[in-house]
Structure 1
Amino acid sequence: MPSIQNAGENSIIVYFGDKPSNSVSSHIAEFCNYIKMKHETYIKDLISSYASVLVIFDPSQTNHLIATKIVKNAIISTQEASKKEDSHKKGKLVQLPVFYGGINGPDLERIANEARLTADEVAEIHQSVSYSVYAIGFAPGFAYLGEVDSKIATPRISTPRKLVPKGSVAIADKQTAVYPSASLGGWNIIGICPVPMFDAFQKPHVPLRVGDTVKFKSIDENEFNALKMEFKNK
C-alpha cells in the first residue's frame, strides 16, 4: 500500500514504492489520471518522480485533511486498475529513431571499450530493450526510461558537461533518456534523436507519459537529417 506524508502547507507526497518498476509506473499513471479527472478543482499540480507523486492542492478550495482523503480514495480506486494496466500494457508504444555515435555520440566508444564490446554492439543492445517511462522530470519532456541492459549500464560522468545538445540520447546507470532541450548534463551521450521531446505549440506538449513503452531504432546520418528537417518544417 502506498504511503502518504505531508510535504508542506499545501502539498502531500505519495510514495508508491522504493524503486521504479512497471507496476509502480502503472499505478502512478492511473493515480494521476484519476486525480486530474475527478478532482481538478482542488488539485493545482501533480509532480511525478520514479516512485512517488507530489500532490499540490489549492488551499483556497480545500485543506490538508480533505486533500489527504482525496489522495487515499484515489489510491484505492486506482490500485486494481493499475494492476490490470500493468498486465495488459495499456500505455502506448513509441519508437524513437537514433543516429548513434560520431560527434553526436561522444561517449559511445568509451562505453564500448569499458564493456569490451564494439560501438555497434552497444547500439544494438541499447535498441534491443523495450523501455518503460518511469517519470517525466528534470526538464519539460525529459523522460526517465528503464532499464538499460547491465552490459552497457554506465555511471554518470564525473564532471557534467556545460551543454548537452538537444536530442542527445544518453545513459546513466540503468536508465536512458533523450534530452528535450540543450542543457547542463552528466549522462553518457551515445547518439542523437531528431524527434522533438517537447513542443509548446503542440498538444500534447510531450510525446511520452508515465506508463508508455519506448523502443529505439538505429538510423543513418541521411535519415537523421531528413527527419530533422521534416520535424523542423511542421
Structure 2
Amino acid sequence: MDFKIVSVDSFIIYFGDFIDEKIALEIKKAYFCIKKLNLEGIIEIIPSYTSIFITFDIFKYDFETLKDLIKQNINLQIDENFEEKIVEIDVYYGTEVGFDLEYLSSKTTLSIEEIIKIHTNKLYDVYAIGFLPGFAYLAKVDEKIAFPRLSTPRKIVPKGSVAIADFQTAIYPQQSPGGWNIIGKTTFELFDKKLENLSPLNVGDKVKFNPISKEEFLVQGGVL
C-alpha cells in the first residue's frame, strides 16, 4: 500500500498500477476494513481500479494520524466471507442501437454474432463508479474484442448504451457525450438517487450480460 496526499483533506491509497483481479480483491478487503472502522471524521471513501480515494475532516484528523490508523486496521489477509452479488442485465445487440458493431466486426475480423457471444460469455467485475452518477466501470473485456476509444467522441450517446473502451465495458446511465464503442442497449436503470452511491451496482459486484431479441427489448420498454 502506498499513501499519497492529494490535498489538505484527501489522499489516495494505491495497491498497484494495472487492472488485476488480485488487486481488486485487496481493494475490496481494504475498503471493507476502512468502512468497518466507522470513523466519523471520514467524509468519503471511493474505491477504484487500483486505489482508494479518501477525504476527511481536517478538524478531526491530520494526514499522518489517519494514515497510521488506517494502516493498522487494514488486513489484506482477512478471510471474510464476502457476499458475491451477480447482477444480470439484458442487452439487445442490434445494429440499430449498437452503432459500432459493424465497425468492430470489420476491424477484428469477428462476426457480429461472435462479438456478442464473447461479450456475454463472462462475468465482469465492477471496479469503479464514476464519470456520471451510476456509470460503472466493468472489466476485463476479452482481448479479442478490446478496442480503443473513438478518435472523435459522439456528442450524444443514448441512455442505456452498452459500450467497450480498451479492456473496459460499461453502460451509459443517461444520455451524454461519450467516446466508447457502442455495441448494444439495455433498459436496466443504472441511476437511482435513493441509493447511497446512486447505482444498484457497487464496487465488488459482478455483472452478467444476457443477449435478448429486439422484441424482448421493446417489450421491456426499450427505444430504438
TM over 0.5: yes
Name the CA distance, whole Å, in 2 between partners of 1:17 and 1:118: 36
8 A Cα contact 1:143 1:178, kept in partner: yes
SS of 1:215's partner is: strand
Normalised by the size of structure 2, how large is the TM-score?
0.92
What does 1:53-92 correspond to in 2, within 5 Å? 53-75=52-74, 77=75, 79-81=76-78, 84=79, 90-92=83-85
2:36 match: 37
- 1:101 Cα offset (Å): 2.2
Q: Percent identity?
A: 42
Quick check: which one's helix share is greater? 1
Distance 1:117 1:23, change over 3 A: same
Name the CA distance, whole Å, in 2 between partners of 1:188 and 1:10: 37
Q: 1:176 aligns with which of 169, 180, 183?
A: 169
Q: Gapped runs of 5+ residues in structure 2?
A: none
2:141 match: 148
**Worse-matched range after superposition: 61-70 or 172-181:** 61-70
Name the CA distance, whole Å, in 2 between partners of 1:205 and 1:10: 24
- 1:89 Cα offset (Å): 7.0
Name the CA distance, whole Å, in 1 between partners of 2:119 and 2:98: 13
Alpha-carbon RMSD: 1.8
What does 1:54-133 correspond to in 2, within 5 Å? 54-75=53-74, 77=75, 79-81=76-78, 84=79, 90-133=83-126
2:207 match: 214
- 1:39 Cα offset (Å): 3.1
8 A Cα contact 1:195 1:228, kept in partner: no
Distance 1:89 1:107, change over 3 A: farther
Q: Aligned partner of 1:68: which letter?
A: K
Name the CA distance, whole Å, in 1 between partners of 2:88 and 2:197: 17
Q: Gapped runs of 5+ residues in structure 1?
A: 230-234
Q: How many residues of Structure 1 are paired with residues of Structure 2 in the alignment?
A: 222
Q: Give CA-to-partner distance per residue, 1:191-234, whole Å, 9 cap, x none.
A: 001110111135673121112111111011221122237xxxxx
Q: Aligned partner of 2:191: which letter?
A: F
